[in-house]
Chains A and B, each alone.
Chain A
Amino acid sequence: MHEMSLVQGLLVQLGELAGEHGKEKVITVTMEIGPLSGVVIDSFEFAFDALAGESVLTRDAKLIVESPPPLYRCCGCGKEIRADRRPHSCPLCKETLITTEGSDDLLLLRVEME
């Protein structure tokens, strides 16, 4: 459940952003959670619901999570493949060694505040 500590970090960051922009209430928070980030989206949402209610700033905030499918790259021919699941082999050259490109980060994309 490292999602709990990640959400705690997010809430600190939201507090700082609100201070910088002179806002008092967060309306929506949009996150991109890479499918290879090792973060369970359900757990992240659960942690957000549990922790956001503790402060006036985030009490009514809505969390929006985007999770685009990962990008794979064939080690043989270099073809890029975007797919929900790891392809067994490259559709072009049939190579089975396939690496991933990124898709492992947790990005705070944007915040709507008032």
Chain B
Amino acid sequence: MCDACGCDLKPEESHDAKVIEVHQSLLAANTAMAAKNRAHIEAMGAVAINMISSPGSGKTTLLEKTIEALGDSLRIGVIEGDIETERDAERIRAKGVPVIQLTTGGACHLDAAQIHKGLHLLAREDGGDRLDILFIENVGNLVCPATFDLGEHHRMVMVSVPEGPDKPAKYPKAFHSSQLFVISKTDLLPYFDFSVDAAKAEALQLNPAIEVMDLSATSGEGFGQWLDHVRDLCSRG
């Protein structure tokens, strides 16, 4: 007899309950869309870099300086992600490259569906459909963006000197899933208790394969290795 309502059904039949084995990733839909984005980006002739870091660590400034240095030799495009405002896109547009701004309206990360939309919007911009490299500046956040594949070929995580060297240990997913770790604002090292070696060691312990570089977009120190890295990605693509 059924325990719940006292009916005559056998327990296995009661309430017509059924257990369905699913074993499917919640991220499956995002991953499938990311694969389409990757093919779309490759069809544009480009490789894509997903830039993940905290707000204010210098993603937009790094992009501005990169466009100044490489804009004549590479076709660069940018997708900007922010919760609100067009401000980052306006800064990039001023450098003369195709850019679109995605505003997430509160969401703390970009996902593959937003990038799909972004790629179509970017194609309407002058030169936005043929690129060598596409930079995707994610929403400033070291946590949530790490979970979502956008269809990028290369993921970088950046930490600026004022944030402190303990970020790899505190935000492991971002460092696990990235191929490049950039320490930015090294011109501020004299004013902060930040050990570049300690930050590198923490990142390498989490992800022995991660490439690490430190630079200052303001002073230009270490910037050459970053530009080489970008050129190298484009030639591999």
Majority DSSP secondary structure for residues of B touching A: mixed
Q: How far is the CA of A37 from the CA of B176 in the complex (A)?
A: 10
Could you say which residues of chain B place their CB within 8 Å of the CB of A39? 147
Q: How many A-B residue pairs have CB under 8 A?
A: 90
In this complex, how many residues of chain A approach chain B with their Cβ under 8 Å: the count is 34
Q: Is the CB of A23 within 8 A of B18?
A: yes
Q: Is the CB of A38 within 8 A of B26?
A: no
Q: Which residues of A, 98-114, contact B by the 8 Å Cβ criterion?
A: 98-100, 104-114
Majority DSSP secondary structure for residues of A touching B: mixed
Q: How far is the CA of A6 from the CA of B107 in the complex (A)?
A: 11
Residues on A lying within 8 angstroms of B by beta carbon are 1-2, 5-6, 9-10, 13, 17, 21, 23, 27, 31, 36-39, 75, 86, 96-100, 104-114
User: What are 18 A-B interface contacts by the 8 Å CB criterion?
Assistant: A1-B108, A1-B144, A6-B147, A9-B26, A9-B29, A9-B30, A10-B26, A21-B20, A23-B18, A38-B147, A38-B173, A39-B147, A97-B205, A106-B27, A108-B26, A110-B23, A111-B19, A113-B17
Residues on B lying within 8 angstroms of A by beta carbon are 15-27, 29-30, 107-109, 111, 143-144, 146-148, 172-174, 176-177, 204-205, 207-208
